[in-house]
Amino acid sequence: MRRMVDLVQRSKLERAGLGFYPTPFERMPRLEREIGGPRLFVKRDDLTGLALGGNKTRQLDYLLVEAIKKRADVIITTTGLQSNWARQTTAAAAKLGVKTVLVLRTAQFDETPKEFDGNLLLDHIMGADISFIRMKIDEDPRDILESVAERLTAKGHRPHVLHLSHMESPLAAASYAEAMKELMGQTKSTGDLPDWIVVASGCGTTHAGLLAGAKMLNLGTKIIGISVGAFTKKKIDAVIESAFDGASELLGSSHRANPRDIITLEDYVGEGYGKPSRESLEALRLTGRTEGLLLDPVYTSKAMAGLIDLAKKGYFKKDDSVCFLHTGGIPALFPYRDYFPPPNGDHILTESE
């Protein structure tokens, strides 16, 4: 494997140095006024780098160290058709000079794509070998991935498989414990350290890392995970607890997860994973029109819908500081274009206008 960067030490854990850190932390004053408070901020992890960025970049920064060490020449992984994980994995592999093989599940789309768009188009442009299987998002094609790895090994390759379990791993969570340290450094001088962080929860790993980081740093920050419907609350909470404990061990801390600290809300799932709700579409438009901040239709728009609803219901105090963790996913907007029809009637500018 061609090494684009040297492995570096960070809190005794090695990382590949793939992302752009620190990501911006900024206030959202117009959205704040629109919904009547509390004080709103956004942590822009949609700007981590790797082909339009996202939260997976931080995780891959740690997870790909093993692939580098064993000199893998192919990365094999899986998720859904419009996967942020697949896009960022493909980008990371490209930077490291290796091939990516994607086994993508149809998930919420129920059928294989007729055209490449959004994340899938970017995967293709970056040179991924892509195949499709009809499978739900909560099913695990482990045997298929291992079969692909065996075929590549027989041809003389050195494949490295990133299973679904890697996305739920303590190492992935540790990356967001470190992100909490970054956030603390950004807000220490301004006094804007969040009382709350709101984040979209797919499997719960990012949530776990944020919670672990807050505890290890002795912060009072509470983490709210807004489920997007990929997994049940029971599954998400179990991942959070396990990943928290594992990340804590990796980072040399004695802290262990307390189930009472885990806040996972299922109220904003709507009709299910990958299916925008009326509230999430409204949140997406409102955030765009007040802050020029684009959200995605699967994850962050549902998390923002949750944040807005909680604020309007008085869940937060008016002087609380609430940070929205933007986990990326913008390329997925384009395959969902039918949810955003143009105004009725075409408006053509004439000479008289």
Q: Just list the catalytic residues.
A: 83
> ∠ CA 58-221-21 to the nearest 5 degrees?
25
78 touches 105 (CB < 8 A): yes
Q: What are phi and psi of 4, to 5 degrees?
A: -75, -30
C-alpha span between 201 and 31 (Å, rounded): 22
Closest CA to 51 of 119, 130, 129: 119
Per DSSP, the residues of 258-324 read -GGG-EEE-TT-TTSTT---HHHHHHHHHHHHHH-----TTTHHHHHHHHHHHHHTT-S-TT-EEEE
Calpha distance 33→20 (Å, rounded): 31
Phi and psi angles of residue 190, each rounded to the nearest 5 degrees, phi first: -95, -15
Q: In what order do the strands lie in the sheet with 196-201?
A: 25-27, 39-44, 321-326, 196-201, 222-227, 263-265
Tell me 26's DSSP state.
Answer: E
* Residue 259 exposed, middle or buried by CB count within 10 Å (0-12, 13-18, 19+): exposed
Phi/psi for 200 (5° steps) reads -70, 135
Could you check whether the bond before residue 113 is cis, i.e. omega within 30 degrees of 0? no
By three-state DSSP, how is residue 71 classified?
Answer: coil
Structure-block tokens of residue 128: 């991924």
> Nearest-CA neighbor of 119 among 351, 319, 316, 297?
297
Answer yes or no: are the C-beta atoms of 95 and 16 closer than 8 Å. no
